[in-house]
Amino acid sequence: DAMVIQNPRYQVTQFGKPVTLSCSQTLNHNVMYWYQQKSSQAPKLLFHYYDKDFNNEADTPDNFQSRRPNTSFCFLDIRSPGLGDAAMYLCATSNGLGANVLTFGAGSRLTVL
């Protein structure tokens, strides 16, 4: 089945220790998104790629970076995680043909000690 796969599902890191979360998709979608969701809050858009074009949200901290080496893969790098970065990180994709459906991965839950 075509899907969006995130790894790892659970990540524990220490304060300040860099972390990379990965997302892969078999949907061949043009657009890939990273959202941050804290407990009982809305998913917050961090950035998205349309093909190789990177679109950063104005309020996304510089501590968060992303890479998309090819259509199928996208990475979220957190350079120096703080306690406030503990959250679920959701990857999603869309076909980029107009506002419609986002397909989400199961998420990566980040704990910062």
- Give the residues lining the site for other proteins (CB under 8 A): 31, 33, 35, 40-45, 48, 50, 55, 90, 94, 96, 98-107
Q: How far apart are CA 82 and CA 53, in angstroms?
A: 28
Question: Looking at beta carbons only, is 42 or 83 nearer to other proteins?
Answer: 42
Shortest distance, position 1 Cβ to other proteins, whole Å: 14
User: Helix-strand-coil percent breakdown of the chain, rounded to 5?
Assistant: 5, 50, 45
Residue whose token pair is 């350079």:
79
Shortest distance, position 50 Cβ to other proteins, whole Å: 6
Question: Looking at beta carbons only, is 81 or 108 nearer to other proteins?
Answer: 108
Contact between 85 and 68 (Cβ < 8 Å)? no
**Angstrom distances, CA of residue 40 to CA of 21, 48, 82, 93:** 22, 23, 19, 22
Question: Looking at beta carbons only, is 30 or 79 nearer to other proteins?
Answer: 30
Shortest distance, position 86 Cβ to other proteins, whole Å: 15
